[in-house]
């Protein structure tokens, strides 16, 4: 057994097979990818990595397997699936995913099938079963990717710890100890409902405080536009993004000229764009219209705004918010019957409506040009119904 000391969970034990997988280049790359992307520019302590999160998720998956009384082979299977679930993440984690042609889940599947990970896994397991579990299929898949999964448990705890934001503290012990397998579902006992509600509340509060903090959104929008230019110029190949780490992308950007170099210089020195317009979603009759906005139309709006303000095109950024849904369908056993968490908890219904309280569509531009916007009718350029 090999022991890894984790800041959140303490000593984590890996057996020889698990260590063999973790020591592959595909998983070691995650040490060089920040879990929260550029959030360290807002919270200086947020320098933790995808690797740490993957190890923590593996640990919690093992705890869940023990509680469910799975046999040793199934326990190892769940643990390695948890350890590999983020293998396909691009540099700066979810930040880069906004401009990729595919998702990190699909890239993870590709890695498992085409890299050394697949060769090692094939020694003991069927690759399709591994992919299915990581994709959240079946009762075992719900442990890794479901409404109350160990992935979410770990990232809430870990992100809270490293940012210093206390909202992410959740009762993992009570959640895990009140889960059981019921046919084709991972089911929560009614005694664990309050712990599940607290987890949903933690997620709700972490979005405006950390994941969608207004400065984090500005940084992310700047980097995504920079990355899209790297793709367009052929400097980085989008389908190969899983081969790169954070330093690779930053180095490539620093070696470019023009817009790309200017944006990475601004990020390096925290010379960030400023928010010059914000439209609160809870002021709209149908907030969902913002989430379905067409990227091409947004781009056209940016061009039109830039032209009328006398600013270069890519220095106007329209940024729709990213907020989770709370239509939780996790099964809950209540006095012999099974209902969804949304059916037994009024809080779930409330959160589904309250998620728009902090959300807004924002427009950013460089601070040196912000003086031009006084009285500018930004709303007239947006394709949003009144």
State the pLDDT at residue 43: 97
Q: What pLDDT, on the 0 to 100 scale, is given for residue 370? A: 87
The Cα 43–Cα 45 span in angstroms is 6
All structural domains of the chain with their residue ranges? 2-212, 214-323+358-381
35 pLDDT more than 70: yes
β pairing state of 185-189 and 179-182: antiparallel
Instruction: Give the whole-number percent of the chain exceeding pLDDT 70.
Output: 99
Question: How far is the C-alpha of 122 from the C-alpha of 338, rounded, in Å?
Answer: 37
- Tens of pLDDT, residues 241-299: 889 999 999 999 999 999 999 999 999 999 999 999 999 888 787 777 776 677 888 89
- Please give the helix or strand (H or E) that residue 379 lies within, else none: none
**Rounded to an integer, what distance in angstroms lies between the CA atom of residue 143 and that of residue 176?**
10
Total Cβ atoms within 10 A of residue 180: 16
Of residues 56, 53, 59, the one with CA closest to residue 75: 59
Using DSSP's 3-state secondary structure scheme, residue 29 falls into helix
Question: What is the CB-side half-sphere exposure of residue 216 using CA atoms within 13 A?
Answer: 23
Task: Enumerate residues 6+ apart whose C-beta is below 8 A from 374.
Answer: none
- Please write down the HEC assignment for all residues of 327-377: CCCCEEEECCEEEEHHHHCHHHHHHHHHCCCCCEEEEEECHHHHHHHCCCC
Give 304's contacts (C-beta < 8 A, 6+ positions apart): 381
C-alpha torsion sign, points 255, 256, 260, 261: positive
60 or 89, which is more confident?
A: 60
Q: How far apart are CA 10 and CA 2, in angstroms?
A: 13
- pLDDT at position 242: 87
The residue-averaged pLDDT of 183-203 equals: 92
Local confidence band at 97 (pLDDT 50, 70, 90 cut-offs): confident
If you average pLDDT over every residue of the chain, what do you get?
92
Strand partners, 333: 189, 338
Q: Hey, which bits of the chain come out as E strands? A: 2-6, 10-14, 179-182, 185-189, 274-280, 317-319, 331-334, 337-340, 360-365
Within this chain, domains 2-212 and 214-323+358-381 share the same CATH topology: no
Cα 343–Cα 346–Cα 351 angle in degrees, nearest 5 = 110
Task: Give long-range contacts, CB 8 A cutoff, 24+ apart: 296-301.
Answer: 297/383, 298/383, 301/381, 301/382, 301/383
Angle among Cα 306, 307, 312 to the nearest 5 degrees reads 55
Helix (H) or strand (E) holding 222, with range, is helix 214-232
CA–CA gap between residue 376 and residue 33 (Å, rounded): 39
In the CATH hierarchy, which fold is given to the domain comprising 214-323+358-381? Growth Hormone; Chain: A; (1.20.1250)
Model confidence at 308, in pLDDT bands (50, 70, 90)? very high
Cα 220 to Cα 224: distance, rounded to the nearest angstrom: 6
Tokens of 193: 């409902």
Where do we find the tokens 């940012």?
A: 163
Superfamily of domain 2-212: Hypothetical protein af1432 (1.10.3210.10)
Q: Is the model's pLDDT at 386 over the cut of 70?
A: no
- DSSP string for 224-236: HHHHHHHHHTTSS
- List, for residues 346-366, the tens digit of each pLDDT value: 898 898 888 888 889 999 999
pLDDT at 292: 66
| Cα gap 19→71, rounded to integer Å | 20
Per-residue pLDDT at 385: 66
Q: How many CA atoms lie within 13 A of 350 on its CB side?
A: 8
């Amino acid at each position: 057994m090999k022991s890894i000391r984790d800041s959140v969970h303490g000593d984590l034990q890996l057996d020889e097979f698990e260590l063999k997988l973790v020591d592959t280049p595909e998983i070691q790359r995650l040490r060089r990818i920040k879990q929260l992307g550029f959030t360290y520019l807002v919270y200086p302590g947020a320098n933790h990595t995808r690797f740490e999160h993957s190890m923590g998720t593996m640990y919690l998956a093992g705890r869940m397997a023990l509680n469910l009384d799975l046999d040793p082979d199934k326990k190892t299977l769940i643990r390695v699936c948890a350890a590999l679930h983020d293998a396909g993440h691009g540099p700066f984690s979810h930040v880069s995913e906004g401009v990729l042609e595919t998702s990190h889940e699909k890239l993870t599947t590709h890695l498992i099938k085409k890299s050394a990970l697949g060769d090692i896994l094939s020694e003991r397991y069927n690759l399709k079963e591994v992919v299915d579990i990581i994709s959240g299929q079946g009762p075992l898949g719900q442990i890794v990717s479901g409404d109350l999964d160990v992935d979410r448990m770990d990232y809430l705890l870990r992100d809270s710890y490293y940012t210093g934001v206390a909202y992410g503290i959740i009762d993992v012990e009570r959640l895990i100890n009140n889960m059981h397998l019921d046919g084709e579902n991972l089911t929560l006992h009614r005694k664990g409902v309050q712990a599940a509600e607290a987890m949903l509340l933690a997620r709700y509060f972490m979005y405006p405080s950390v994941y969608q903090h207004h400065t984090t959104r500005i940084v992310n929008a700047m980097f995504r536009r920079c990355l899209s230019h790297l793709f367009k110029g052929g400097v980085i190949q989008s389908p190969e993004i899983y081969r790169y780490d954070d330093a690779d992308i930053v180095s490539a950007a620093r070696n470019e000229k023009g817009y790309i170099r200017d944006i990475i210089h601004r990020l390096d020195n925290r010379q960030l764009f400023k928010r010059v317009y914000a439209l609160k979603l809870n002021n709209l009759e149908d907030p969902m219209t913002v989430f379905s906005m067409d990227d091409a139309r947004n781009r056209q709006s940016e061009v039109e705004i830039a032209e009328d303000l006398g600013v270069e095109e890519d220095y106007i950024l329209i940024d729709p918010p990213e907020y989770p849904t709370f239509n939780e369908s996790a099964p809950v056993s209540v006095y012999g019957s099974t209902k969804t968490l949304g059916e037994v908890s009024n809080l779930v219904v409330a959160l589904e409506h309250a998620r728009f309280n902090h959300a807004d569509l924002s427009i950013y531009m460089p601070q040196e040009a912000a003086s031009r916007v006084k009285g500018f009718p930004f709303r007239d350029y947006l394709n949003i119904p009144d």
